[in-house]
Structure 1
Amino acid sequence: MSTEPVDIADVPAEVRDRHAILAQEVEEHRQRYYFATPTISDAEFDQLMRELESIEEQYTSLRTPDSPTQKVGAPVTEPGVVEGSWPPIDHLERMLSLDNAFTFDELTEWASRVEREVGEGARYLCEPKVDGLAVDIVYRDGRLATLATRGDGRTGENITYNTRYADAIPKELTGTDQFPVPEVVEIRGEVVFPAEAFEAINAERGELGLPLFANARNSGAGVLRQRLDRRKEKIDAARKRAEAAGGEGRAQLALQRLEDEFDRARRMISSLILICHGLGQRSGFEVEYQSEAYAALKAWGLPVSERVRVVPNLPAVQEYIGHYGEHRHDVEYEIDGVVVKVDQVSLQRRLGSTSRAPRWAIAFKYPPEEVTTKLLDIRVSVGRTGRVTPYGVMEPVKVAGSTVENATLHNASEVERKGVLIGDTVVLRKAGDVIPEILGPVAELRDGSERAFVMPTECPSCATTLKPAKEGDVDIRCPNTRSCPAQLIERLFYLSGRGGFDIEAMGWEAAQALTAPDEPAEPPVRDEGDLFGLRIEELRDVRIRREIRRKGQPTGEFELVPYFYTKETPSKPSVPTKNTERLFGQLEKAKRQPLWRVLVSLSIRHVGPTAARALANAFGSMERIQNATEEELAAVDGVGPTIAASVIEWFEVPWHRDVVRKWSEAGVRMEDERDESVPRTLEGLTVVVTGSLEGFSRDEAKEAILVRGGKASGSVSKKTSYVVAGESAGSKLDKAMQLGVPVLGEEGFRALLEGGPDAAAAHVQAAE
């Protein structure tokens, strides 16, 4: 496969279209995964990502900084995992992800690339891949300074407060003559529940009538990220109320309940273990081998895996992987594969990193585990675009470390192809995703009571007759796009995401409450156009249907309760909740978002962040996009005929145009304001930024290029005007040198931004 630079104008239109569609799908599924509402399996996601990577390997001009292949990790805040969120904190050195191998052939390909780059002689460090929460720990002068989650690799959540209860995280490093403690050292590791502790916690929760945790990884992450500081504040306030009441009555009971809950949370955090596996930034400390770094970590009093092995060659790596594939459940915590690293640090530096992962390490992922369970029913869900998807409801079963009871079946044809019947014992496969996959039935166990699934003819959410979008489509859809409650909830949830308006307080339940068809009779949001015109007092009577729970267990009984306001009592009037006030504050902030985010939030088919940015940069306003011809839209770099046709089709629908009108009337920004004081110094220039810059994040560098009229590209070709090379620039710098593309450092980049090519000429670096 050729990897020669190809200018984007030379990429076939159908390839650009497929790339844009894939990029949008991957981003949407990634967002749903991090918000714990995935609709596809890990295997399907990996397939989409691999197709995207394959296209970008062949057409490198499509590999832009916006591409999902260039991103790391999760949003800084993952709503729904913990109550509230911690303040952000920047990592001293960026935390990267790992590329994956799923077969020995892929592992061999990686090892061959290593050998091509650095020659023979690389030895490998192998360790079990801990399925936990990635953390970043900073020690200054040997004392614990900060603890943070990985977040997006550059910025995480500052959860340092909880370290006072996390026994596994040393508060002070020790050090030896061989390994004295550095002035500053950044430690990377994974926090997870050991299997024994996880089972004990669930046993206690069962005895107390509390819901059981599904798996060790997610519950461990949620436990460590609890706002124990806020719980402590509630306890202090409750203690004052109890003292004022003389230490008796309801106030004392409320205090006792809060203290018991806090004690359980504290004990759960103290049950977590830490496994360290790497270093970030450090001062006054260098090693020759990764394994030597592990010895230093251990000498400092930090926990490392006792199962780490340094092996001389690839066959020994494969033997190690095979051993833990057979004995993965013998490890005291959940693992989902093996991490393989080049042990020599000098070779690691020569191999470098991509924008998201080191080239000197890879994660070998074990195949999904398979179990059998009873298929109790097949139901359907309705997605954002109206697609109706069957899913299986099963007897709960534990697989790959978590308990599952729902699994995707994709579409009616897939149900028929797999031959599953309601009542079957089915084979279930799960690779760590929340919604696993039914592979097929165990036909030998049928007793004749099984029955076939019949795809509904009406939408389960709005009773509209279902039909394919066009003749020959495998999927069927609900055509009631405007007012189908299920689709509207999905669209509100989507537009509130980080790729859209970024309205954190608009969770799934809030979207459901706003669109509830029963209470009140006329819901406050009939389509997304109503969202920004809402008034807080309109939501006083909104109720949501919730299941009544007794001792933490569902009862099957339901009640209508206020959602946006507190419950009214004889002594207290109903008032907006704090989350409601936060929602309206965020709605006001969302009105000022740039045009590309507004475009994403409209749920135009195929228009994700990349296409939306391209349209916003090309036309500058919603009105000009709406009035553009299909040919004008398709001519935009990064759009193409498929997306252009989709945009035209979307604006032809009257209620779609009403959404835009209502948003505009409510004050949503429909035109990007260009700062005339910023000089257009980069008109017609294509700039590639590679490596780390001290004064710019990757997004800030890109924005600086775009506002000055330039194009920020992710790949180097002969048509690249400049490459800006920061620290750890890697292969893009090498390619620029080979092609004779001018290279600038950070000082030269600033000169280019301020004065254009003439000002940057004196800063161009000579080829070595």
Structure 2
Amino acid sequence: MTGPDSELDPAGRVDWLRELIHEHNQAYYERDAPIIADADYDLLIRELRFLEEAHPDLITPESPTQSGVGGSPSEQFSPVEHRRRMMSLDNAMDLEELRSWGERTARRLADLGNDSTVRYVCELKIDGLAVSVRYENGRLVQAATRGDGRTGEDVTANVSGISAVPQMLGAGAPEVLEARGEIYMPLDSFQALRERVIAENVELAAKGNRQKPVPVNPRNAGAGSLRQKDASVTASRGLSWWCYQLGEIIGAEEPPAHSAALAWLSDMGIPVNPETKVVEDLDGVYEFCAYWIEHRHELPYEIDGVVIKIDDLAIQQALGATAKAPRWAIAFKLPPEERTTILLDIQVSIGRTGKATPFAVLQPVFVGGSTVGMSTLHNEDQVRHKDVRPGDTVILRKAGDVIPEVVGPVLELRPSGLPEWEFPRNCPSCAEPLIRHEGEAQHLCVNPQCPQKRWASICHFASRGAMDIDGLGEQQIASFLELGLMSDVADIYSLQAEPILQLPNYQQLSVQNLLSAIEASKSRPLGNLLFGLNILHLGAAGGQTIAAAFGSLDAIMAASVEDLSAVAGIGPVIAGSVYSFFSEPLNQNLVGRLVAAG
């Protein structure tokens, strides 16, 4: 998905970027399941900021460049208003950007007439979930997630079960002390959780029940563990905590420097990362960053960068902040770990909307904390641009230490005469011709009867983010399709108990639970249904936005492209895609059957 051209349609491109960034914010902050690498996310933010600077009339207060990043507080937890805003940080992607930040800060201080010597505090950027822990007269009384920076989620009960978070502070605790830090999952706790989930999934699969997602990295696992409804589950997950900042304080004098505040917090019994270091200049900052680029994997927990803060609180106050981040701090993002391996093959998968996506089949290699055997290559243009060919030795990295990415070939190791890879002309699932629309990067299978496309679309419809049908997982859907019990999403609501009971691993109780989950899905919000219909370019946030704007399925189906484009946050690409979907007779019939099913 490439979106509108930024030169021909800057407004459309801006709308598209905001929708995409919103989708990724929800995935990262609210569902704890990122679908894009950190570096790619940063590129989206930078492109949006560039376009807004070039077209100031397109800037809105709701833009992620103006309001910062973060997730909306979950309705599962009570909201907590932060007395002092928990801001995000600007990023430096390399040492040159870090140097530019230092020079920019020095110029700003000079303009303010401040010639004080600047010292810096370097802290490891723990890959976890930011929380604020409030103590009153030494007793823990409240813990809240960062949320959107202004309002977080009350997770007091869950945080109270984490052994690293003290329930009582030492002698001399003030009337109010707020400690901000990062809840994270150590690597040994993560590995234990993975093994436990894999073992549980074997039992669930044998019973025909939906399997649990296997944790993919400690950050997501830690955030999900903290947000459990049952605090005892959180307590069992082996989470830990490092404090990185003093927040509100009443009844004691605030230390004059950040390093002094951290030392004081440590004296109070609050855990502060021992790798934190005060340095006298930017050269010391560079040395600290360079050291941890090389030694990060020696730690018993994951980091994704280094946070650099000006130590003197008076200088911090003089520099102030932008709308989203303080000027006195920056996050240096560590480069991803890289390894070389053999590209065994390039194959093509068909997704729920018919997108044909090439992916690399690799000789398995351990990189970024896990063994990788496959990696997406996105589209034909990316394969051509990277010039990777089956048989190549390729460089593989964990982008954002979450998503494996093939960087490119090691050309000096390429066998002579190795042919270029050709994108298939026909769908690997149904053998129908693949098409590529002008201006689009993706090839599409437009055959509505494509087996792989049907399977993927039904899996998506039944998933948690859409209709949330528990017990209808990938294996079950594959079996039902193979036996002719369903052919599309509307057939889900025609399933009967008797044929299912004839299948292996199905008992009366599991079938009844499945049918009950199908019935319960009928009450899911309209936005979830729109997302579940597999409309090209329409994500979860876009579905909710359109549903809120029109209020009913009939109104959406009757809307023109202009009507849809008029909705804030819905650009012309998404509007055109939604309109085209509901204009198709096959889709109209499908929706009619869904409506008839209730």
- Say yes or no: does 1:160 pair with 2:157: yes
Counterpart-to-counterpart distance in 1, 2:559 and 2:193: 58
Aligned 1:251-266 pairs, distance under 5 A = 266=236
> Per the alignment, do residues 298 and 100 of structure 1 end up closer, same or farther by CA in structure 2, a change over 3 Å counting?
same
Counterpart-to-counterpart distance in 2, 1:191 and 1:60: 38
Do the aligned partners of 1:375 and 1:395 also contact (CA within 8 Å) in 2? yes
Which AA in structure 1 matches 2:20? Answer: E
Do the aligned partners of 1:89 and 1:157 also contact (CA within 8 Å) in 2? yes
- Say yes or no: does 1:26 pair with 2:6: no
Partner in structure 2 of residue 576 of structure 1: 512
Aligned 1:133-532 pairs, distance under 5 A = 133-147=129-143, 149-150=145-146, 153=149, 154-156=151-153, 158=155, 160-161=157-158, 163-164=160-161, 166-175=162-171, 180-192=172-184, 197=188, 215-221=217-223, 266=236, 269=238, 272-285=239-252, 286-349=254-317, 351-353=319-321, 356-443=324-411, 445=413, 453=421, 455-461=423-429, 463-471=430-438, 473-481=440-448, 485-486=452-453, 489-490=456-457, 493=460, 503=467, 505-506=468-469, 510=473, 513=476, 517-518=480-481, 520-523=483-486, 526-527=488-489
Counterpart-to-counterpart distance in 2, 1:116 and 1:483: 61
Partner in structure 2 of residue 90 of structure 1: 79
Q: CA deviation at 1:408?
A: 1.7
Q: CA deviation at 1:201?
A: 5.3
Which AA in structure 1 matches 2:276? Answer: V
Q: CA deviation at 1:337?
A: 1.6
Q: CA deviation at 1:391?
A: 1.3
Which AA in structure 1 matches 2:165? Answer: I
Which AA in structure 2 matches 1:388? Answer: A
Partner in structure 2 of residue 691 of structure 1: none
The farther-off stretch of 60-69 and 42-51 is 60-69
Counterpart-to-counterpart distance in 2, 1:574 and 1:321: 53
Counterpart-to-counterpart distance in 2, 1:539 and 1:487: 22
Alignment RMSD (CA, Å): 4.6
Counterpart-to-counterpart distance in 2, 1:644 and 1:458: 29
Partner in structure 1 of residue 209 of structure 2: none
- 3-state DSSP of counterpart to 2:70: coil
> Per the alignment, do residues 203 and 109 of structure 1 end up closer, same or farther by CA in structure 2, a change over 3 Å counting?
closer
Aligned 1:54-65 pairs, distance under 5 A = 54-64=50-60
Do the aligned partners of 1:185 and 1:280 also contact (CA within 8 Å) in 2? yes
- Say yes or no: does 1:588 pair with 2:505: no
CA distances 1:292-346 after superposition (whole Å, capped 9, x unpaired): 3212210111111223233444444333323333443454533222101233334
Do the aligned partners of 2:459 and 2:473 also contact (CA within 8 Å) in 1? no
Q: CA deviation at 1:511?
A: 6.8
Partner in structure 2 of residue 125 of structure 1: 121
Which AA in structure 2 matches 1:15? Answer: P
Aligned 1:735-746 pairs, distance under 5 A = none
Which AA in structure 2 matches 1:588? Answer: S
CA distances 1:629-655 after superposition (whole Å, capped 9, x unpaired): 555665666656555544443332123
Q: CA deviation at 1:454?
A: 5.1
Do the aligned partners of 1:485 and 1:515 also contact (CA within 8 Å) in 2? no
Counterpart-to-counterpart distance in 1, 2:322 and 2:386: 40
Which AA in structure 2 matches 1:73? Answer: G
Counterpart-to-counterpart distance in 1, 2:416 and 2:97: 44
Counterpart-to-counterpart distance in 2, 1:64 and 1:188: 30
Do the aligned partners of 2:460 and 2:532 also contact (CA within 8 Å) in 1? no
- 3-state DSSP of counterpart to 2:427: coil
Do the aligned partners of 1:144 and 1:172 also contact (CA within 8 Å) in 2? yes
- Bigger Cα Rg: 1
Partner in structure 1 of residue 211 of structure 2: none
Counterpart-to-counterpart distance in 2, 1:449 and 1:210: 46
Runs of 5+ in structure 1 lacking a partner? Answer: 1-10, 78-85, 233-264, 545-558, 668-768
Number of residue pairs aligned between Structure 1 and Structure 2 = 571
Of 36, 42, 47, which residue of structure 2 is paired with 1:51? 47
- 3-state DSSP of counterpart to 1:420: coil
Do the aligned partners of 2:353 and 2:535 also contact (CA within 8 Å) in 1? no
Which AA in structure 2 matches 1:22? Answer: L
- Say yes or no: does 1:107 pair with 2:98: yes
Taking structure 1 as the reference length, the TM-score comes to 0.62
Which AA in structure 1 matches 2:313? Answer: V
Counterpart-to-counterpart distance in 2, 1:159 and 1:482: 50
Partner in structure 2 of residue 14 of structure 1: 9
Partner in structure 2 of residue 759 of structure 1: none
Which AA in structure 1 matches 2:101? Answer: W
Aligned 1:643-722 pairs, distance under 5 A = 643-662=574-593
Counterpart-to-counterpart distance in 1, 2:471 and 2:380: 27
> Per the alignment, do residues 348 and 589 of structure 1 end up closer, same or farther by CA in structure 2, a change over 3 Å counting?
farther
- 3-state DSSP of counterpart to 2:434: coil
Partner in structure 1 of residue 206 of structure 2: none
CA distances 1:167-221 after superposition (whole Å, capped 9, x unpaired): 322221104xxxx3133333222244556x4699599989x99999765444555
Counterpart-to-counterpart distance in 1, 2:357 and 2:124: 36
> Per the alignment, do residues 288 and 598 of structure 1 end up closer, same or farther by CA in structure 2, a change over 3 Å counting?
farther
Do the aligned partners of 2:33 and 2:220 also contact (CA within 8 Å) in 1? no
> Per the alignment, do residues 396 and 71 of structure 1 end up closer, same or farther by CA in structure 2, a change over 3 Å counting?
farther
Q: CA deviation at 1:472?
A: 7.0
**Percent of pairs with identical residues:** 39
Q: CA deviation at 1:409?
A: 1.4
Counterpart-to-counterpart distance in 1, 2:541 and 2:175: 42
Do the aligned partners of 1:489 and 1:508 also contact (CA within 8 Å) in 2? no
Which AA in structure 1 matches 2:443? Answer: I
Counterpart-to-counterpart distance in 1, 2:412 and 2:473: 46
Taking structure 2 as the reference length, the TM-score comes to 0.77
Partner in structure 2 of residue 744 of structure 1: none
Counterpart-to-counterpart distance in 2, 1:145 and 1:221: 21
> Per the alignment, do residues 495 and 21 of structure 1 end up closer, same or farther by CA in structure 2, a change over 3 Å counting?
farther
